Amino acid sequence: MNTADQYLKAIYLVQSAEDGPASTGAIADALDVSPASANEMIGKLEREGLCSHEKYQGVDLTEPGIERAREALQNYCIIERFLLEVLEVQDFRSEARQLEPVIDETVADRLDTIIEREPQCPDCFNPEADVCGLLELEADAAD
Amino acid sequence: MSLQSPVASDHQLTRLLQIGVVLEEVVEARAAKHAREADDVDAEVRAFLEDAAAESAGHRDRLEALIEDLEAETIPFEEIKTLVEEQYEAEGDFDGVLYDQLCNEETAYKFYDDLIEAIETSEASFGVDREHLLAVLTEIREEEADGVEAVTELMEGRG
């Protein structure tokens, strides 16, 4: 997943949590980057028609932006599920975060052929816990 | 969530190599299954799929040697083969089989390309020789590129 997709996913999750535009500060916090870096990438995404940014209000994803963000989120869910179900990694949340930049959509699609994933994915994602809500339940049950 | 380097330690490198092993195992299991079971597959395509499965097994061996050097464990092929069988939903027709193989080769190429780039931009030192690691991955990536070309030619020749 490239950096732009990681930003789109972060904006999507912040918007879901806040039920409105995402502030630059919240986006920067979510990605652990400086507000200046976040601003630079937001400008780039805006020029590509993936989001709109109003000063003092925040960032809103456009329809194409939402579509790409949801794909990125789905890839992230696949990585988390793959780590837990196939590689049996207990710390799958933090490892998925580390690995997501190098796992492209095509690779995630192939990994998806050997995992169990619910049809409602990625709507079951829990933004606060940064994990698929269903997977969280499965992991808790396995503990 | 963060934008840190994905290959900053032996642990992370091992995990990515394990994912490479699983991808090769998926390719091997699917290609072998198609060669064995798909309907309407002629001798040329069957031989092609068998070669592709054998090549993936070779790649897996080389990745496993790196994982062993990092003193970690691999993922047994039988385990992945079972998962492939359980989740398998491919069409048995001719185009489906070759298209699936094209996806296999393209996916593997993309994975190694991204992994090589991530290692090259990482400043971490690893428990395996960096030059050897990159040489092995680059060689496998080139074989995947050749695989994409070969399956494309085979598809176009029958289009």
Q: Do residues A88 and A118 share a domain?
A: yes
Nearest Cβ partner for B114 among A9, A97, A104: A104
Helix (H) / strand (E) containing B98: helix B94-121
Tell me, yes or no, whether A117 and A99 share the same domain: yes
Percent of chain B, pLDDT > 90?
57
Query: In this predicted structure, what is the pLDDT of residue B114?
Result: 92
CATH number of the domain to which A12 belongs: 1.10.10.10
Q: What sign results for the dihedral spanned by CA atoms A90, B10, A95, B67? A: negative
Homologous superfamily assigned to B10-157: Ferritin, core subunit, four-helix bundle (1.20.1260.10)
Q: Has residue B93 got a pLDDT over 80? A: no
A74/A137 same-domain check? yes
> Which among A49, A66, A83 is the end of a domain?
A66
More confident call, B69 vs A136: B69
Residues A87 and A128 in one domain: yes
Q: How far is CA B15 from the centre of its chain?
A: 15
Residue whose C-alpha is closest to residue B60's, from B110, B108, B12: B108
Name the residue range of residue A59's domain.
3-66
Structure tokens at A42: 């937001």
* Chain A contacts in chain B segment 97-126 (CB below 8 A): 103-104, 106-107, 110-111, 114-115, 118
Nearest residue to B137 via CA among B59, B28, B57: B59
In whole angstroms, give the CA distance from residue A109 to residue B87: 13
Confidence check: pLDDT of B90 > 70: no
Note the pLDDT tens digit of each residue in A6-31.
999 999 999 998 889 999 999 999 99
| pTM of the predicted protein model | 0.87
Domain boundaries of chain B, sorted by first residue: 10-157
Contacts of B83 in chain A (CB under 8 A): 86, 114-115
ipTM over 0.90: no
Give how many domains chain A has, as a whole number.
2
